Structure 1
Amino acid sequence: MNAWEDLVTSALLGTDRKPLAPGGGDGGAVALLDAAAVHTVRRRAGLRPGAAAAPLEVAPEDARPVLPAAARRRLGQLLAGRAAPAPAGGRRGAAPDLAELLPQWLAAANERGCRAPAAALPALLDAARARTDLRPQALAFAGPRGLWLARLNPEWKFALRGTGGGGGAGALPDPADAEGVRALWEEGLFAERVALLAAVRAEDPARGRELLASTWGAERAEDRLMFLDSLRAGLGPSDEEFLEAALSDRSRNVRATAAELLSALPASALAGRMAGRAASCVSLDRTRGAETIVVEAPHECDAGMRHDGVVPTPPTGRGERSWWLGQLVEAAPLGCWPARFGGRSPEEIVALPVADDWQAELHAAWCRAAVRQRDAAWSRALLGSPAAPQATGPGTSSLAERAQLLATLGAEERAGWVASFIAAHGLSEAFQLLGVCAVPWAEPLGRAVVDALDIARDAGSYPWSFSGVMGLAERCLAPDAAPQLAALTTVSAEPEDASPGAAGYWSEAFQRLVSTLELRAAMHAELSGAS
């Protein structure tokens, strides 16, 4: 046992029970500490130098243009979370929310192809670590230098997921690099493979499907499900053979997803089989005076239906026959119905009466089919007039269904429909519909929202019930709407039946909205100098 180990033993047991070795002094505690100090210096002086660490890899170049000085200062303010100055005489609550403006700033900077300032990269990665909603835009803005820096801090490892974050630039191989794609597909982590399949599929759908088919039989069921879902991007007739084979997969979820994808291909064999089954259940009866749709739901879920993705067991509270009927109708191509109903248009079909209380079930299935098949004509028919009361609409029973149908329409038509809905029904029912409209809101929609807010203010409505719409307006209104809103920032006289303090809240909320729109305009102006 060497001298250092003797000292450690004496320290653990006490110098009374284990005195210092000869030459270690009088054996007391002071002598122990003195001896420990001497040996510590001796041990440190005797250390041999270790091998030099490998130098850090040089950060990659980022050829994107630099940010203008004003935009750099704005980014620093947003990342630090410092509030913009409140309007003169306004309360703190009237100042813009910088946390909501950062995602918009990042999106605008990426649209202009600017690179992140090197000094801002740590704060940018910290912000992306704290907020998953920021990550796609933040990492795109951080670029290759952000990934290089992320490899040096374990807290930023999220940035390396799905990017092949070992060495080099940390990016997926180019889809044209057949050897690199094959190597990562066969050897990569699951997240890397999902990202790779999506990238290849976006570039060349057929090649992405062939890549998946090459290892399909060896994949786990849960992985097959995730990979199969990637085929939604670029889905086309050439995918039918692969998807038909997947209908016999041993996993029920894989079979169901394959059936859903095939039903989105109106010319597929599965869609044809479903059309035949649905047509046998839904027909036109001309013997009732007025022509009426009659429904005879399936009496059993046979083997062929189960093979084609029909789930035999209904959820709790649903009848079997209505459950099977809904699945058949939503999987049938919508193009089969005009011929079934005497050449009628979708609007005329939806307007037909349905016998025996089957209308809600039938129309709900058509809604799901229109969304799945992205059929704008049927979506318009099922949406009906935006002025129609929800309970008496032609084909929808909920705002959630209307929002899904609206998403199949073009941005301009969608905004016009929602603007008319707001004009007829106000804002209280429109929140879900506003969420599917393109940003920034088109002028008719933005004007309708502002007018409805003004009406709610003048009516003395409970102001906090509109906070969600106000938040959407801060993010989605076009900045040039600020002048229209400026007149609403004053505190108006409260009606007798108004909520206490409503006028002050509305004034503050409109001040905040105006300030946010002006700040968004300034952000875009600051970024416009990038070259």
Structure 2
Amino acid sequence: MNSPLTPPDAPTGSSWEELVTVALLGTERRTPSGTAPGREAPGALLDAAAVQTVRRRAGLRPGRAAARPEPAAADARPALPRPAARRLAMLLADRPGTGSGGRRGTAPDLMELLPQWLALANQRGFAAPPELLPALLDAARGRTDLRPAALAFAGPRALWLARLNPDWRFALRATPGGGATLPGAEEPERARQLWQEGLFAERVALLAAIRAHDPAAARELLATTWATERAEDRLMFLDSLRTGLCAADEPFLEQALADRSRNVRATAAELLSALPGSALAGRMADRAGSCVSVDHTGGTPTIAVEAPHACDAGMERDGMVAKAPAGRGERSWWLGQLVEAAPLSTWSRRLGGRTPEEIVALPVTDDWQGELHAAWCRAAVRQRDPSWSRALLGSPSVPEAGGPGAVSLAERAKLLGTLGSAERAEWVAGFIAVHGLSEAFQLLGVCAVPWAGALGRAVVDALNIARDAGSYPWSFSGVMGLAERCLDPSEAGRLDALTAIPDEPENASPGAGGYWAESFQRLVGTLRLRAAMQLELGGAPMGVVGSGS
């Protein structure tokens, strides 16, 4: 007998599996039991499926109630001030607009201010508002650059939420030990067990945590399983020794020079060459010193270079790569590796007690200057030697501002990274004053934020010159974006005069004046917004905030 829910002509003997099969094959090839082929078959199939759906749902037994999740760990940090919480909600709600023709308008880009806001909130030690955690985790999910600061600000509740929502599992992967508390130095047995039995990410996190507090203990832990680790894991573990690298690491690194993996050997050699007193550094100094000397036979002292004629087994064991890249001469390739790995203190002794500035000023025979100076650049960066970096950078006002050894902007940026923040900013300001902004973008990226006063003024002056000249404004969009994030907010008042539409010279790009005005209006608005953020987070006002936020 049909139930009240069953249509009179619906087939009742078909199982769910049979109905699925009929639906996959089609009613032209097969029909449900008790249904004749024809135009009515599709409707009969749907009727039968509806009946079976009700039966299946009615026949399900209720599942056993799951246990309640444990509450999230308490966050002992102070609550975020209400104005700052409102500001965070505004930043998280902002989405980049599409705009027409790439025109950004005058409104600040709030998402670009979020990293700075998070850094400031973490510096102040505030806890994230619980109601904003989902939006914060969604933002960090979409932008990997936000994750470290966002997770630090979100605190333990973020990990609790990540265990409940698969979309936020990145928080567990990004947190040492997947959010679990790593054993400390006072728990050696637990640390050893995790090292021997943990997942690879947990072991990396454990080694990094121990290395940061007790370098010797981390090295000893690594030594217990070194011989049985996979080559790619040995490479990752060895890289952790960069933190706290010291002379005590030399015996372990010397053993790694005999590793069966070329990448491991190369990394061990690089670390040893960063220890000026290591035996490897001494061997490389002897080899490099035999290739470079001062020739006094002419009227002017000149550096003479005799590049190696072979790369023997000992040189390969010390990390040198024998085969040169395509298009590179073997002897110049070997010379570059030797000079890069030799302690920079070698050259003053080897070249007559000269200072780095005097050494790089010497002429070099047979077109070897480019190769020799480029290798000194790499050595200065590897050994973090500011005196050699200054000598190789030269004055920012010299032609091309490249200095004797810096042959690219990338190399100049790396050399600048070895200097203190104030000296770095002063050099880049001098570069911009002489050469403008066309090549300064990469150099600005290594300067501390907010930019020092002289650097900020140099950038603003250069932008003003480009504006007055009617230059194509979109060529400076990258620098404008950096200025919005990096200029000291106290510059806002000085920029007010630049927000008006200027008179366009005859040779100016069409519409350039309007675009420049919009750019400066957005810059001023962003600076004032950053100043307001600082105040909301409990900091001292940074310069004149002005009206509006």
TM-score w.r.t. length of structure 2: 0.88
* Per-residue CA distance 1:432-466 (angstroms, 9 max, x = gap): 11111111111111111111111111112121111
Provide the residue aligned with 2:153 in structure 1. Answer: 141
- 1:250-269 alignment runs, 5 A limit: 250-269=260-279
* Counterpart code for 2:343: P
Maintained 8 Å contact 1:446/1:477: yes
- 1:437-516 alignment runs, 5 A limit: 437-516=447-526
Change (3 A) 1:266 1:16: same
Change (3 A) 1:509 1:30: closer
Deviation of residue 492 (structure 1)? Answer: 1.0
Provide the residue aligned with 1:410 in structure 2. Answer: 420
How far apart in 1 are the matches of 2:477 and 2:74?
Answer: 45
Provide the residue aligned with 1:275 in structure 2. Answer: 285
How far apart in 2 are the matches of 1:31 and 1:406?
Answer: 75
Of 298, 306, 309, which aligns to 2:319?
Answer: 309
Provide the residue aligned with 2:27 in structure 1. Answer: none
Maintained 8 Å contact 2:208/2:240: yes
Of 63, 78, 92, which aligns to 1:65?
Answer: 78
Provide the residue aligned with 2:208 in structure 1. Answer: 198
Change (3 A) 1:392 1:401: closer
How far apart in 1 are the matches of 2:463 and 2:365?
Answer: 42
Deviation of residue 208 (structure 1)? Answer: 1.4
Provide the residue aligned with 1:21 in structure 2. Answer: none
Maintained 8 Å contact 1:371/1:408: yes
Change (3 A) 1:496 1:192: same
Change (3 A) 1:393 1:120: same
Change (3 A) 1:16 1:416: same
Change (3 A) 1:501 1:227: same
Provide the residue aligned with 2:385 in structure 1. Answer: 375
* Counterpart code for 2:302: T
Gaps of 5+ in 1: 19-28, 85-90
Deviation of residue 174 (structure 1)? Answer: 3.5
Deviation of residue 196 (structure 1)? Answer: 1.8
* Per-residue CA distance 1:136-195 (angstroms, 9 max, x = gap): 0111111001100110011111110153666xx634334543233222222222122222
What is the Cα-based RMSD across aligned positions, in Å?
2.6
Provide the residue aligned with 1:528 in structure 2. Answer: 538
How far apart in 2 are the matches of 1:164 and 1:432?
Answer: 32
Deviation of residue 394 (structure 1)? Answer: 2.1
Deviation of residue 31 (structure 1)? Answer: 13
Maintained 8 Å contact 1:271/1:333: yes
How far apart in 2 are the matches of 1:345 and 1:410?
Answer: 20
Change (3 A) 1:324 1:435: same
How far apart in 2 are the matches of 1:99 and 1:46?
Answer: 51
Q: Secondary structure at the match of 2:310?
A: coil
Of 193, 198, 215, which aligns to 1:188?
Answer: 198
- 1:91-490 alignment runs, 5 A limit: 93-163=105-175, 170-390=180-400, 393-490=403-500
Maintained 8 Å contact 2:428/2:443: yes
* Per-residue CA distance 1:86-113 (angstroms, 9 max, x = gap): xxxxx96111001101111111111111
How far apart in 2 are the matches of 1:278 and 1:44?
Answer: 81
Maintained 8 Å contact 2:396/2:402: no
Change (3 A) 1:364 1:8: same
More RCO (CA 8 Å, sep 6+): 1
How far apart in 1 are the matches of 2:394 and 2:518?
Answer: 37
Deviation of residue 46 (structure 1)? Answer: 6.4
* Per-residue CA distance 1:354-411 (angstroms, 9 max, x = gap): 1111100000000000000000111111111110112772222122111111100001
How far apart in 1 are the matches of 2:212 and 2:537?
Answer: 30
Gaps of 5+ in 2: 4-10, 23-30, 37-42, 98-102, 541-549
Change (3 A) 1:47 1:338: closer
Maintained 8 Å contact 2:336/2:371: yes
Change (3 A) 1:423 1:40: closer
Provide the residue aligned with 2:15 in structure 1. Answer: 8
Maintained 8 Å contact 1:284/1:294: yes
* Counterpart code for 1:478: D
Change (3 A) 1:164 1:370: closer
Deviation of residue 504 (structure 1)? Answer: 1.0
* Counterpart code for 1:16: G
How far apart in 2 are the matches of 1:132 and 1:299?
Answer: 47
Maintained 8 Å contact 2:136/2:150: yes
Name whichever of 387-396 and 345-354 sits farther off.
Answer: 387-396
How far apart in 1 are the matches of 2:539 and 2:365?
Answer: 64
Provide the residue aligned with 2:545 in structure 1. Answer: none
Deviation of residue 15 (structure 1)? Answer: 4.3
Maintained 8 Å contact 1:147/1:170: no
How far apart in 2 are the matches of 1:251 and 1:412?
Answer: 42
Maintained 8 Å contact 2:176/2:205: no
Q: Secondary structure at the match of 1:420?
A: helix
Provide the residue aligned with 2:89 in structure 1. Answer: 76
Deviation of residue 342 (structure 1)? Answer: 1.1
How far apart in 1 are the matches of 2:129 and 2:256?
Answer: 48
How far apart in 2 are the matches of 1:463 and 1:34?
Answer: 68
Maintained 8 Å contact 2:96/2:109: yes
Q: Secondary structure at the match of 1:239?
A: helix
How far apart in 1 are the matches of 2:332 and 2:144?
Answer: 40
Change (3 A) 1:171 1:125: farther
How far apart in 1 are the matches of 2:289 and 2:44?
Answer: 99
How far apart in 1 are the matches of 2:435 and 2:513?
Answer: 23
TM-score w.r.t. length of structure 1: 0.91
Change (3 A) 1:175 1:158: farther
How far apart in 1 are the matches of 2:183 and 2:167?
Answer: 25
Change (3 A) 1:175 1:159: farther
Maintained 8 Å contact 2:84/2:533: yes
How far apart in 2 are the matches of 1:92 and 1:309?
Answer: 50
Deviation of residue 202 (structure 1)? Answer: 1.1
Provide the residue aligned with 2:68 in structure 1. Answer: 55
Deviation of residue 288 (structure 1)? Answer: 1.1
Deviation of residue 213 (structure 1)? Answer: 1.2
How far apart in 2 are the matches of 1:164 and 1:444?
Answer: 40
How far apart in 2 are the matches of 1:175 and 1:424?
Answer: 54
Maintained 8 Å contact 1:390/1:398: no
How far apart in 1 are the matches of 2:45 and 2:417?
Answer: 83
Deviation of residue 48 (structure 1)? Answer: 4.9
Name whichever of 372-381 and 396-405 sits farther off.
Answer: 396-405
* Counterpart code for 1:207: A
Maintained 8 Å contact 1:161/1:192: no
* Counterpart code for 2:212: A
Deviation of residue 246 (structure 1)? Answer: 0.4
